Structure 1
Amino acid sequence: MKIDTEYIKLDSFLKAVAAVGSGGEAKIRIAGGEVRVNGERELRRGRKLRPGDRVELAGRTYDVE
């Protein structure tokens, strides 16, 4: 997904790419350790993603552009 700002927060990114249905679901999945950013488990909803980052959830990979 291409972003038009310097960064996007992880929970907002998951909603934007339709990896989750709501912010609440994003919170639960992140807190549950289901999300990886650049290969590392990420537990912070507010993690700032920038172009070049890669997010993984439920066997799918999403690139930040």
Structure 2
Amino acid sequence: MEEVSITTPMIQLDQFLKWAGIAETGGHAKELVEAGLVTVNGELVHERRKKLYPGDMIKVENGGVWKVTSG
């Protein structure tokens, strides 16, 4: 698990995927979500703009696990 620090109270999932280096572009982030490859706190996500907060856990199928932290 890798921790990714944000400097705002929340971040949208697609922005997080780019910020953490998981997705190269916003389009790539959208593809990951639409393909059903992303879960947040163990729940499959279909909304690429889902709001994430410190403490949330993001998992990408065959990619890894990340935890949002506040910085």
Give the TM-score, by structure 1 length.
0.95
How many aligned positions are there? Answer: 65
Give the TM-score, by structure 2 length.
0.87
Q: Which runs of 5+ in 1 are unaligned?
A: none
Q: Supply the AA of the counterpart residue of 1:12.
A: Q
Residues 1:30 and 2:28 are matched in the alignment: no
The runs of 4+ residues in structure 1 deviating greater than 4 Å are none
**RMSD of the alignment, in Å?**
0.8
Q: Which runs of 5+ in 2 are unaligned?
A: none
2:12 to 9, 18, 28: 9
Counterpart of 2:59 in 1: which secondary structure?
Answer: strand
Within 2, Cα distance between the matches of 1:26 and 1:11?
5
* Identity in percent: 40
Name the structure where strand makes up a greater proportion of residues: 2
The higher-RCO structure (CA 8 Å, 6+ apart) is 2
